[in-house]
């Protein structure tokens, strides 16, 4: 009995849609790229209900004929590819011929299009791969594509979509990537009838500034390099403006946004020693490469590219970034033309140079004390034996804080005698737990705040500003008071615990929260704020504490609901029993 059969077209299209259209932002990407390929110089994007209800792209491109508009919804129908050799010389955005067919399979699609030389345009309506109507119509030159009720016939896929806020953020990201790569084109983005972006045609630097904010201009350093293999141009951010997130990192290869961890590593390597750990440089870099030396057909979303000579491009990119950092006096430089040994300090030029004196212990005999080596080896074994933490169940309630002597180890740990032996507390993690429970237990209540003598301004781009506005009520309850302008926050008051804190770092930590994609947004949001505050305000490792401060910290830790674990799931203390200590001396 034969069991293999061809899939019906509508099922095949839904399978293809699962690869190409993963969320509303995927449809936005495909539609904007089609508009680019049409030769348009003005493109508008309209979004309603985070793209679930409506996605519309309007362009003033070449338009389509009556036949072409119908053919565009057939699988693998494309105007870009004629033979197999064309796959190795791709210079357009769309070429697979799957996007329109995929969208038509899972949504209600309406297209109105008109070519410049024609008097009438054509309008077609498709629902679930089924053509409902096609007729002539009066419309402007170019094409208007409406995608309504995305995933209406694939409810499982619709249920997997995130909140409107998260899906809208993905759409904005796609819009920014494509508009950055094409500064010569005018773009507009409308979110629920409100204009979010209006970008006039400009040069690349101005487009970056228009998207990320006017103050970005002073942060940009130009990068230029041209070789037989690749041409690189664009901008990198100055090291002092590095952020805790990778939000402003963009690679464009032949006008197409790509993700490439290997090339990202090349840029990061060039910044080695210039930015602190946990921060990432900003970059907006265009790479022009012969299309025959890259393969962009390795992934349905076309955001990954395979390079013919990736190692060479890595070396060129790293060198170009380092040269720009040095050229604009941002990276420290070495003068190899001057011998440092001949440079005398000011005022020492005419001073008489005296012969240095060396003190020698004439009684020292390296062969006299043979036990010294044994002692050193014994100390090493002793030290290594404590490398493994021995976690023993002990309640902090068993420690009588008032009667104990506390001391610090390397200004990092607090140690004291316990009923079982010796207890060692990680001072930073313990304080994080104390602060975390304090803020969580006061969730929803208004805490005391301290007014700043001088308000502090923090520069934010549009997306960052929207994120702060989302949590404004929660921040106000904690004790933060601020006024939100177009591109900056004016902070006027902070919680009493934050008086001497770096407020810019603190607010960027609030903004760059990966937990905001949770379906339980409110709970995750409050947890994140409490975590950020506990991490920023806690006693740091290496900070010297008085015995009174140590006692107070241990006393507060004893009152916590979960004293043994930090907010990040790490142990706050452990106990070494007397038995384990005795074993070290056997």
Average pLDDT over residues 419-439: 88
Mean pLDDT of the residues in the chain? 80
144-158, 355-369, 512-526, 566-580: the lowest-pLDDT one? 512-526
Query: Does pLDDT of 279 surpass 70?
Result: yes
How is residue 277 written in tokens?
């750990």
DSSP one-letter code for 243: B
Fold of domain 209-327: Ribosomal Protein S5; domain 2 (3.30.230)
Please report the pLDDT score of residue 359 as a whole number: 59
Which residues is 198 bridged to in the sheet?
Answer: 188
How is residue 46 written in tokens?
């309209």
53-67, 158-172, 216-230, 284-298: the lowest-pLDDT one? 284-298
171-180, 291-300, 302-311, 368-377: the lowest-pLDDT one? 368-377
pLDDT band at 514 (very low <50, low <70, confident <90, very high): very low
Strand runs (DSSP E) across 115-242, as ranges? 121-127, 130-137, 142-148, 186-191, 194-199, 220-226, 230-237
CA 176/CA 160 separation, integer angstroms: 24
Query: Does pLDDT of 157 surpass 50?
Result: yes
pLDDT band at 105 (very low <50, low <70, confident <90, very high): confident
pLDDT band at 48 (very low <50, low <70, confident <90, very high): very high
Beta pairing class for 108-114 and 142-148: antiparallel
CA nearest to 525, candidates 459, 461, 475: 475
Please report the pLDDT score of residue 517 as a whole number: 47
Q: How many CB atoms lie within 10 A of CB 550?
A: 22
Run of H or E including 418: strand 413-418
Domain boundaries, the chain: 9-199, 209-327, 376-586
Give the CA distances from residue 194 to residues 46, 47, 173, 346, 442, in Å, rounded to whole numbers and listed in that order. 9, 9, 17, 65, 36
Q: Is 228 helix (H, G, I), strand (E, B) or coil?
A: coil
Please report the pLDDT score of residue 518 as a whole number: 42
Residues making up the chain, counted from first to last: 586
pLDDT band at 236 (very low <50, low <70, confident <90, very high): very high
Fold of domain 376-586: formyl-coa transferase, domain 3 (3.30.1540)
Let me know if the fold of 9-199 is the same as that of 209-327. Answer: no
Angle at 34 between CA 31 and CA 39, to 5 degrees: 135
Please report the pLDDT score of residue 200 as a whole number: 95
pLDDT band at 346 (very low <50, low <70, confident <90, very high): very low
Using CA atoms in the order 239, 245, 248, 251, what is the torsion angle rounded to 10 degrees? 100
Give the CA distances from residue 20 to residues 98, 185, 329, 395, in Å, rounded to whole numbers and listed in that order. 8, 25, 45, 55
Which residues is 435 bridged to in the sheet?
Answer: none
Q: Is 424 helix (H, G, I), strand (E, B) or coil?
A: strand
Run of H or E including 494: strand 488-495
* Phi-psi category of residue 213: left, alpha or beta, with phi > 0 → left and psi -120 to 50 → alpha: left
Please report the pLDDT score of residue 317 as a whole number: 95
Ordered alpha helix ranges (H), 138-193:
155-159, 164-181
Domain over 9-199 is classified CATH 3.30.565.10: yes
55-69, 97-111, 193-207: the lowest-pLDDT one? 97-111
């Amino acid at each position: 009995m034969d069991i293999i059969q061809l899939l019906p077209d509508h099922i095949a299209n839904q399978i293809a849609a699962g690869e190409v259209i993963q969320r509303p932002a995927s449809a936005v990407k495909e539609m904007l790229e089609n508009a680019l390929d049409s030769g348009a110089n003005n493109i508008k994007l309209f979004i309603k209900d985070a793209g679930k209800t409506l996605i519309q792209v309007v362009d003033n491109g070449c338009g389509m004929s009556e036949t072409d508009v119908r053919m565009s919804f057939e699988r693998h129908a494309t105007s870009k590819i004629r033979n197999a050799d064309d796959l190795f010389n791709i210079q357009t955005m769309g070429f697979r011929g799957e996007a329109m067919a995929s969208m038509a399979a899972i949504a209600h699609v309406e297209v109105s299009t008109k070519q410049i030389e024609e008097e009438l345009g054509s309008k077609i309506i498709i629902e679930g791969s089924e053509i409902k109507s096609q007729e002539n119509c009066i419309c402007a030159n170019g094409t208007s594509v409406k995608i309504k009720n995305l995933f209406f016939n694939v409810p499982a896929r619709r249920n997997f979509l995130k909140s409107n806020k998260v899906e809208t953020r993905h759409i904005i990201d796609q819009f920014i990537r494509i508009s950055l790569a094409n500064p010569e084109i005018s773009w507009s983005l409308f979110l629920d009838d409100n204009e979010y972006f209006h970008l006039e045609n400009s040069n690349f630097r101005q487009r970056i500034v228009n998207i990320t904010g006017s103050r970005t201009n002073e942060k940009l350093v130009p990068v230029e390099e041209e070789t037989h293999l690749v041409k690189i141009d664009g901008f990198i951010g100055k090291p002092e403006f590095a952020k805790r997130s990778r939000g402003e990192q963009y690679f464009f290869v032949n006008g197409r946004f790509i993700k490439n961890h290997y090339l990202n590593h090349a840029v990061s390597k060039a910044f080695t020693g210039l930015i602190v750990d946990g921060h990432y440089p900003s970059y907006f870099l265009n790479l022009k490469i012969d299309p025959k030396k890259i393969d962009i057909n390795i992934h349905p979303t076309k955001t990954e590219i395979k390079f013919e000579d990736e190692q060479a491009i890595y070396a060129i990119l790293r060198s170009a970034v380092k040269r720009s950092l040095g050229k604009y006096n941002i990276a420290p430089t070495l003068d190899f033309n001057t011998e440092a040994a001949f440079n005398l300090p000011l005022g020492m030029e005419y001073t008489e140079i005296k012969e240095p004196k060396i003190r020698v212990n004439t009684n020292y005999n390296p062969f006299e004390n043979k036990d010294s080596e044994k002692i050193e080896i014994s100390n090493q074994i002793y030290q290594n034996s404590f490398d493994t933490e021995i976690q023993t169940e002990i309640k902090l309630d068993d420690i009588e804080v008032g009667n104990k002597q506390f001391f610090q180890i390397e200004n990092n740990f607090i140690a004291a005698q316990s009923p079982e032996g010796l207890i060692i507390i990680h001072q930073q993690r313990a304080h994080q737990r104390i602060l975390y429970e304090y803020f969580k237990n006061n969730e929803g209540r208004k805490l005391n705040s301290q007014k700043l003598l001088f308000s502090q301004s923090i520069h934010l781009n549009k997306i960052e500003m929207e994120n702060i506005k989302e949590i404004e009520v929660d921040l106000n309850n904690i004790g933060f008071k601020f006024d939100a302008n177009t591109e900056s926050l004016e902070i006027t008051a902070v919680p009493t615990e934050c008086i001497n804190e770096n407020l810019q770092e603190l607010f960027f930590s609030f903004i760059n929260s990966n937990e905001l994609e949770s379906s339980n947004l409110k709970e995750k949001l409050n947890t994140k704020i409490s975590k950020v505050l506990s991490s920023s305000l806690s006693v740091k490792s290496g900070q010297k504490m008085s015995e009174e401060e140590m006692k107070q910290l241990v006393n507060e830790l004893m009152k916590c609901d979960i004293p043994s674990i930090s907010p990040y799931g790490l142990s706050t203390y452990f106990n070494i029993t007397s038995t384990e200590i005795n074993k070290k001396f056997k």
